[in-house]
Amino acid sequence: MDIIDLEVDGYERVVRTHDGESGLHALIAVHDTTMGPALGGMRMWPYASEDEALTDVLRLSKGMTYKSAVAHTGLGGGKAVVIGDPNEIKSEALFLAMGRFVDSLGGKYITAEDVNIAVPDLEIVRRTTKYVTGLSREDGGSGNPSPYTAYGVFLGLCAACEVKFGSEDLSSRSVAVQGVGAVGSALVRRLRERGAKVWVCDVRNDRAREVGDQYGAEVVSMDAIFDVDADVFAPCALGAVVNDATIDRLNVEIVAGGANNVLHEARHGAELFRRGVLYAPDYVINAGGIINVSVEFAPGGYDQETSLKKIERIPAALKEVWEISASQGIPASDAADHLAESILAEARRG
Ligand code: NAD
């Protein structure tokens, strides 16, 4: 397998391979290992070009460094992207080759699930590398991360209510949840248990109705979710949902959800701040999943209690971010980056 190093400023290592035999065309970016080995998922996507894939892997791996730094997982940031249509290119040979590619970094990069990659795929990858996490509990892994992500989002949302309204009590609060997949539905359950009024939507109407019926949440259309008169908007579907088209419609005091890359551009974070909307930066509030995976590296292996204790620190991390935001007069999204950079700088100083 030919592995070619790409020199990219600010990244420890970026490698590519285009393996004729298995058809594997992939990139791995190791952004930063100051805090520990670079952990981040493997994404499969039909990128239009290798350049597009490179942009994505660089952005995502840096995001993982920041997320892990603020969550104190003891891990660095990395990511892998496999170029191609998952309906066409998945094969045993491809995942075995991907395992060899991951293995070539000698543990500097550790892989996990991401978009279009599932546990059965990783089980093949594991045959050619040991640097794989997030496998099932039966296989000694930490299992499905979604319930842990949802737990962290729920705690973060409560902390936002405490900061904004002076109380964590949700019985008089209302939340619009966009997307009720693995994370969104688990969040809805917790919110309803605490007596919040909840609206839900999903691109899959049947799914929205099912979750609405099960937990007693009101179903609205995908478009109407932006206009609901709620205290909190909780994006749990796609990224870039706070954008030029939606920001004026949001009638909420808090944006706090599980989705990655919630802000379309940094200026949308600045606009939320200007309007007095409290934003829980995505990679801080949705770190429960990576925290859970990181516990696999604890001496003695995975332990759920340790994981939950660490996830319960997410509210403290968010409050630190909001304090920086308030004291420096900067958007919470920028304050989170400042916090991550200061944690990394301190670790580099030793
Ligand atoms: P999922 O695929 O289980 O759920 C996403 C849901 O959103 C699906 O039900 C889908 O039908 C729906 N959806 C898609 N487009 C929509 C739209 N335009 N409007 C409304 N609904 C729409 O995914 P998930 O694991 O629940 O993850 C949700 C989000 O949280 C993603 O952005 C993911 O990147 C992020 N995230 C997840 C985890 C995790 O542990 N699963 C961790 C960190 C971040």
Q: Look at residue 349 and tell me if it is in a domain.
A: no
Average pLDDT over residues 31-40: 97
Q: Look at residue 100 in the predicted model and tell me its pLDDT.
A: 98
Residue 33 confidence class, pLDDT cut points 50, 70, 90: very high
Residue 200 confidence class, pLDDT cut points 50, 70, 90: very high
Query: What is the percentage of the chain residues whose pLDDT exceeds 70?
Result: 100
Q: Check if 149 has its Cβ closer than 6 Å to any atom of ligand 1.
A: yes
Nearest to 101 by CA among 179, 23, 15: 15
Residue 136 confidence (pLDDT) above 90: no
Strand pairing partners for 176?
199, 233
pLDDT digits (tens, 9 = 90+) for 257-288: 999 999 999 999 999 999 999 999 999 999 99
Q: Look at residue 81 and tell me if it is in a domain.
A: yes
Q: Look at residue 144 in the predicted model and tell me its pLDDT.
A: 87
In this structure, the answer to whether residues 93 and 204 fall within a common structural domain is no
In this structure, the answer to whether residues 124 and 217 fall within a common structural domain is no
In this structure, the answer to whether residues 328 and 256 fall within a common structural domain is yes
Query: What is the percentage of the chain residues whose pLDDT exceeds 90?
Result: 93
In this structure, the answer to whether residues 100 and 157 fall within a common structural domain is no
Q: Look at residue 197 and tell me if it is in a domain.
A: yes
Q: Look at residue 298 in the predicted model and tell me its pLDDT.
A: 86
Report the alpha-carbon angle 10-15-16, nearest 5: 135
The atom number, within ligand 1, closest to the CA of 238 reads 32
Residue 57 confidence class, pLDDT cut points 50, 70, 90: very high
Q: Look at residue 271 and tell me if it is in a domain.
A: yes
In this structure, the answer to whether residues 35 and 100 fall within a common structural domain is yes
64: left (phi over 0), alpha (psi -120 to 50) or beta: alpha
Q: Check if 113 has its Cβ closer than 6 Å to any atom of ligand 1.
A: no
Average pLDDT over residues 199-212: 97
In this structure, the answer to whether residues 109 and 220 fall within a common structural domain is no
Q: Look at residue 258 in the predicted model and tell me its pLDDT.
A: 97
Residue 139 confidence (pLDDT) above 90: no
Average pLDDT over residues 217-234: 98
In this structure, the answer to whether residues 41 and 166 fall within a common structural domain is no
Whether residue 79 lies in the annotated active site: yes
CA of 265 to the centre of ligand 1 (A): 19
Q: Look at residue 238 in the predicted model and tell me its pLDDT.
A: 87
Catalytic pick among 79, 90, 197, 310:
79
Parent domain of 21 = 3-63+75-132
User: In this structure, which residue's CA is closest to atom 18 in ligand 1?
Assistant: 203
Average pLDDT over residues 335-340: 98
Full DSSP string of 267-289: HHHHHHHHTT-EE--HHHHTTHH
The model's pTM: 0.94
Token readout for 126 is 């594991």
Q: Look at residue 302 and tell me if it is in a domain.
A: no
Q: Look at residue 296 and tell me if it is in a domain.
A: no
User: In this structure, which residue's CA is closest to atom 27 in ligand 1?
Assistant: 183
CA of 313 to the centre of ligand 1 (A): 23
Higher pLDDT, 143 or 78: 78
Nearest to 296 by CA among 169, 131, 156: 131
Average pLDDT over residues 104-132: 95
Q: Check if 146 has its Cβ closer than 6 Å to any atom of ligand 1.
A: yes
Residue 140 confidence (pLDDT) above 80: no
| Long-range Cβ contacts of 293-299 (<8 Å, 24+ apart) | 293/39, 293/112, 293/133, 293/134, 293/142, 293/145, 294/39, 294/68, 294/71, 294/73, 294/74, 294/75, 295/142, 296/133, 296/141, 296/142, 297/36, 297/74, 297/75
Domain final position from 89, 106, 132: 132
Which CATH number fits the domain that encloses residue 55? Answer: 3.40.50.10860
pLDDT digits (tens, 9 = 90+) for 141-171: 888 899 999 999 999 999 999 999 999 999 9
Asked if residue 197 lies in contact with residue 174, where contact means CB atoms within 8 angstroms, the answer is yes
Return the exposure string of 236-247: e unless at least 16 CB atoms fall within 10 Å of the residue's CB, then b.
Answer: bbeeebbeeebb
Which CATH number fits the domain that encloses residue 257? Answer: 3.40.50.720
In this structure, the answer to whether residues 153 and 278 fall within a common structural domain is yes
Asked if residue 35 lies in contact with residue 68, where contact means CB atoms within 8 angstroms, the answer is yes
Structural domains in the chain (count): 2
Helical (H) or strand (E) element with 4: strand 3-6
Average pLDDT over residues 82-103: 98
Average pLDDT score, the chain: 96
In this structure, the answer to whether residues 197 and 334 fall within a common structural domain is yes
In this structure, the answer to whether residues 161 and 280 fall within a common structural domain is yes
Token readout for 286 is 């949705």
> Residue 193 contacts by C-beta under 8 Å, 6 or more apart in sequence?
none
In this structure, the answer to whether residues 150 and 206 fall within a common structural domain is yes
Q: Look at residue 100 and tell me if it is in a domain.
A: yes
Report the alpha-carbon angle 295-298-301, nearest 5: 85
Q: Look at residue 250 and tell me if it is in a domain.
A: yes
CA of 200 to the centre of ligand 1 (A): 13
In this structure, the answer to whether residues 282 and 167 fall within a common structural domain is yes
3-state SS, 318-335, equals HHHHHHHHHHHCCCHHHH
